[in-house]
Amino acid sequence: MPILPVANVFFDAITRFFEAGGPFMVPLAVCAVAALVVTGLRVRALRREQVLPRFVRASIEKLSPGTDVGHIHQLVSDNPAALARITRTGLAHLDLTRSENAGLVQTAARREVLRLERGLAGLELIVGISPLLGLLGAISGLVGVFTNLGGGVTAEDTAGVALGIAEALNTTIFGLAIAIPTLVAYTFLARRVEAMAVEMEALTSSLLSKCYAQDRAK
C-alpha cells in the first residue's frame, strides 16, 4: 500500500480527533510539546559525561592521600561539569579546616543538584494538569451533548448521543496519553539526578579525606 495515502488517512484521523476534542485540545497540545522539549533537553543535560566527567572521577579515585592536588586543579579549572565545579570549591579552600571546607562543598553540591533538577518541576506539573485538563474538556463536552439532547434531540437518537460522548472523551484520552509517558520520563530523570548526586557526594568526600590526610596523621 502506498505510503502517501496511508499518511493522509492518518493525518485526517488525527485532525478529526483534535477537532472533536474542542478548545481544551489546545492547552493539552501545548503540554505535550512542552513535555517533549523539556524531556529532550534534560536527557541531554544529564548525560553522565556531562555531569561526572570520566577524567575527573579517575583523578580523584587515583589520588593518593596527602599528595599534591595541582594536577586535579588544572583538570577542573575550566571544566563546566557539576563535579568539576564542586571539586574546584573544595580545592580552593584547603586553607580552611576540613569541617569548614566540607560545609562549603555541601553548599556547592546542593546548588549543582538544583541545576540538575531544572525542568523536572515542569514535567511534574504537566503530569498533574494534563489529566485534569482532559477531564475538564470531557465534562465540557458532555454538558454540550446533554444540552443539545434537552434542546430538541430525541432520546431515541442514541447513536448521536453516543457519538457526542465519545467525542467528549477525546480530551481525557489525550490528557492521559500525555501524562503517562511524562510520568515515566520524570521518574527516570529524577532517579538519575539522585544517583548522580550520591556519586558526587561520595567522590568529593573521598577527595577531602585524601586532601586532609596529613592533618589526621599529625
* Angle, in degrees to the nearest 10, between helices 82-92 and 98-116: 160
Residues 69-109: pLDDT tens digits? 888 888 888 889 999 999 999 999 988 999 999 999 999 99
Name the percent of the chain lying above pLDDT 70. Answer: 86
Rounded Cα distance, 31 and 176, in Å: 12
Cβ(197)–Cβ(115) below 8 Å:
no
More confidently predicted of 6 and 101: 101
CB under 8 Å to 17, separation ≥6 — which residues?
170, 174
| 139-158: average pLDDT | 66
Neighbours of 153 (CB within 10 A): 15
Is 184 a residue whose pLDDT tops 70?
Answer: yes
Rounded Cα distance, 207 and 213, in Å: 10
Its pTM stands at: 0.83
